[in-house]
Structure 1
Amino acid sequence: MKYILILADGAADEPLAELGGKTPLEAANKPNMDRIAREGRCGMLKTVDDSLSPGSDVANMSILGYDPMKYYTGRGAIEALSMGIPFKEGDLAYRCNLVTVENGKMKDFAAGHITSIEGAQLFETLKEKIPEAGWYSGVSYRNVMMLPNGKGSDTTAPHDIVGEVINEYLPKGEDAERLMNFIVRASDAFENHPVNKQRIAAGKNPATTIWPWSGGSKPAMPPFSEKYHKKGAVISAVDLLFGLAKCAGMEVVTVPGATGYLDTNFLGKAQAAVETANGDADFVYMHVEATDEAGHLGSLEEKIKAIENLDKAIGYILDNFDGCIMLMPDHPTPIAKKTHTNDPVPFAIRGLGEPDEVSVYTEKEVQAKGSYGLIQAVDLLDMVFKE
């Protein structure tokens, strides 16, 4: 048996008045997702323990079967591994967003989804102005800072505090003083930077400073192949998922035009998933970020569009792959909240056992009629691979 797991990041949501009490999944035209649910078995998946912050890091780690309570050290560490950044003894890796802070408030956690080229230019300036840390530019606003002799700090994800006064969410703990020093110095370095001058002239949000968060040491996870006796591969556009793949010894598959944003190459990912699964991989994890980005933007139109674009790509998988197909979000990213929650998410599995009574892929339908009931995410793949 071959397996493709389609991860629609943040696709689950809550009922919205502007949709007459429906969720985006209920409102979207998604015949292929509905077909997976109708022809398969469904249930609800608890991806994030209530004691943890509902980040994509711990949620995706859980879905892959790795208990965050045992293996998670911090998001920055996972992304650092993805980028091939070396860890020295005592290093902590922090995820380091480029952000827009205006009048003391977090205006934009992604600095207007700044381009990777612009971000790299800003990080070159940080290397010059703040040489006592390691600065590594990634994709768009997503970057990594390596802190020598790091001790750890209590930090807040910037996408959780859009519109909030940042003073209430500044780093706390042993690394706090150093991190605050870097935030202030980065603000000075960026104030008159040519990149920001050009962005302001173009009517775009500038990157006013950095926001380091979720620092961690190098994680140690058992290889996916040893854990499940299957060869696994990950398709994504973001460093977080590539980092998890490298932590688990899974193949990393890149797709031209995969952006981690609303304009991503949906069909290209589906084609790569089929090609990889029909090749020598036993299990392919196809991650799509666009649905989550729309939720963070609070854009109902874009979220429905992202769901429908993904659904069209899923049609290609259904037409060209005969194995087991799994579909699920990693967490909800409700439009009204613009951030993640740790509520259970609906999942559907086509190709194992007899179908249940679920007819459409929605939160309400799956919760009411799914035959799997509520499953803990860390147990999912063990369950699927044993059926």
Structure 2
Amino acid sequence: MKYIIILGDGMADEPLAELGGRTPLEYAEIPNMDRIAREGRCGMLRTVPAGFEPGSDVANLSILGYDPRTSYTGRGPLEAASMGVSLRDGEMAYRCNLVAIRDGVMEDFNAGHISSAEGAELLRDLDARLGSVQVHPGVSYRNLMVVSRARGAVTTPPHDIVGQPVAGYLPRGDDAELLLDCMERAREVFVDHPVNRRREREGKTPATDIWPWSGGKKPSIAPFREKYGLAGGVISAVDLLSGIARLAGMEVIRVPGATGFIDTDYEAKARYAVEALDRLDFVYMHVEAPDEAGHMGSVEEKVRAIERLDEAIGIVLDRPETTVAVLPDHPTPIRIKTHTAEPVPFAVLGKGRDDVSAFSEREAPKGSFGLIEAPELLSLLFSP
């Protein structure tokens, strides 16, 4: 038996008036997700333990069987692992967004989805001004900052404060002075940078600032094969997921056309997942697009992302002798454009059957799995 989890990041939502009181999952045409629910079993999954921020880092660690209460130190070190950046003793990695701040307000947490090449050019020139602090280009707006002799800082994810004044959310704590200095230097480098001048001429949002957040030191994560006795792999265009995979000793499966945005190649991810199951026991197929649409506050794009993911799931369902699970990692409600910590629906095909007829936030609680904690999911999936 082979196993696959299909993870639609941020796919869960709230009932929306513009959808006739339905959620995007209820409104979307999702025959393949509905089939998994109808022919399988459903339940609800608590992916964010009490006291933790509802981030994709915490939620995906939980789903992969790693309790954040013992394995989570911050998002930064997970992304550092993905980028091949080894943290030494005393070093701390912060996620470092390229953002647009206008008149003291967080206008855009991703600087108009700046390209990776443009971001790398900006950060190359910034890195030359930072001395002992290093910045590492990632994918699009998602980059990394490494601080030596770090003690930590209280920070806020930029996607949580879009449209709000940033003054009340600036870093505070032991590393705050250093981080604020780096942010000031970035403004000086970016203000008249050729990349930003070009973006403005093209009518695109410039990257005015950096925003460091979720710093941490290297975590201790047990190897996936030792934990479950199975060979696993991860498909994702997001450094965070690749970092978890590397730290857990799982295969990082690269897919051409995977972008980490709503234009990603959904079907290519599904094809690569099916092919990987010829050599692996378990594949975790992560799709970021529904979350990005939620952060955009776009009902249309979120429904479209869910429907395109469902089409790709059809490719996976064609593979015989495969247990298939589908779920979000957390809700990203259109109404607030950020994550929440409520339990999410999940459905599993290949572990029996119950009376649920569709995959949604309202139907899944009727399933026979009930409410379970996310770190228990894989043990349930892999059980005889």
Deviation (angstroms), 1:251: 0.5
One-letter amino acid matched to 2:380: M
Q: How far apart, in 1, do the equivalents of 2:370 and 2:28 lie?
A: 24
Q: Which residue of 1 aligns with 2:47?
A: 47
The yes-or-no answer on 1:373 pairing with 2:365 is no
Instruction: Quote the offset at 1:201 in angstroms.
Output: 1.1
2:216 — aligned with what?
216
Give the superposition deviation at 1:322: 2.8
- 2:356 corresponds in structure 1 to 358
Q: Determine the C-alpha separation between the residues in 2 that align with 1:386 and 1:127.
A: 49
Secondary structure at the counterpart of residue 339 of structure 2: coil
Task: Identify the residue that residue 38 of structure 1 maps to in structure 2.
Answer: 38
Q: In the TM superposition, what is the alpha-carbon distance from 1:196 to its structure 2 partner?
A: 0.4
Residue 380 of structure 1 aligns to which amino acid in structure 2? L
TM-score with structure 1 setting the length: 0.98
CA distance in 1, matches of 2:131, 2:320: 50
Deviations 1:201-248 (A, max 9, x none): 111111001000000101111100000000110001110000000111
How much has 1:321 moved relative to structure 2? 3.9
Q: Distance in 2 between matches of 1:137 and 1:3?
A: 33
Match of 2:179 in 1: 179
Structure 1: gaps (5+ residues): none
Q: Deviations over 1:278-327 (max 9, x none)?
A: x1211100000001100000000000000000010001111234310000
Q: How do residues 81-100 of structure 1 correspond to structure 2 at under 5 angstroms? A: 81-100=81-100
| 2:295 match | 296
- Indicate the residue corresponding to 1:384 in structure 2: 381
Once residues 139 and 156 of structure 2 are traced to their aligned partners in structure 1, the CA distance between those partners, rounded to angstroms, is: 20
* Structure 1 segment 1-387 matched on structure 2, within 5 A: 1-277=1-277, 279-353=278-352, 355-367=353-365, 369-387=366-384
- Deviation at 1:132? 2.2
The alpha carbon displacement at 1:50 in A equals 2.5
Separation (CA, whole Å) in 1 of partners of 2:325 and 2:272: 16
- In the aligned structure 2, how far is the partner of 1:212 from the partner of 1:267? 33
Asked whether the equivalents of residues 32 and 311 of structure 1 are also in contact (C-alpha less than 8 Å), the reply is: yes
Matched to 1:357, the amino acid is: D
In structure 1, give the amino acid aligned to 2:221.
Answer: M
Q: Aligned partners of 1:142 and 1:190: how far apart in 2?
A: 16
Distance in 2 between the 1:126 and 1:291 partners?
32
Matches of 2:49 and 2:161, distance apart in 1: 21
Identity %: 59
SS of equivalent to 2:318? helix
Tell me if the contact between 1:274 and 1:321 (Cα under 8 Å) persists in the aligned partners. Answer: no
Runs of 4+ more than 3 Å apart: none
Tell me, in whole angstroms, the C-alpha distance in 2 between the residues paired with 1:247 and 1:357.
39
Q: Per the alignment, in what secondary structure is the counterpart of residue 362 of structure 2?
A: helix
Distance 1:291 1:211, change over 3 A: same
CA distance in 2: counterparts of 1:380 and 1:124, whole angstroms? 42
Matched to 2:101, the amino acid is: V
Following TM superposition, by how much is the alpha carbon of 1:26 offset from its aligned partner in structure 2, in angstroms?
0.5
Matched to 1:311, the amino acid is D
**Deviating more after overlay: 128-137 vs 287-296:** 128-137
Q: What SS does structure 2 have at the residue aligned with 1:320?
A: coil
Structure 2 residue matching 1:206: 3-state secondary structure:
coil
Amino acid at match of 2:287: V
- Tell me, in whole angstroms, the C-alpha distance in 1 between the residues paired with 2:46 and 2:293: 22
What is the CA-CA distance between 1:86 and the residue it aligns to? 2.1
SS of 2:145 mapped into structure 1: strand
What is the deviation of 1:118?
0.2
* 1:378 partner letter: P
Quote how far apart the aligned CAs of 1:185 are.
Answer: 1.0
Aligned CA-pair RMSD:
0.7
Q: Distance in 1 between matches of 2:200 and 2:355?
A: 54
Distance in 2 between the 1:33 and 1:52 partners?
A: 29
Report the AA paired with residue 382 of structure 2. Answer: F
Q: What letter is aligned with 1:257? A: G
What amino acid sits opposite 1:363 in the alignment? E
Report the residue type matching 1:303 in the other structure. Answer: K
Q: Secondary structure at the match of 1:54?
A: coil
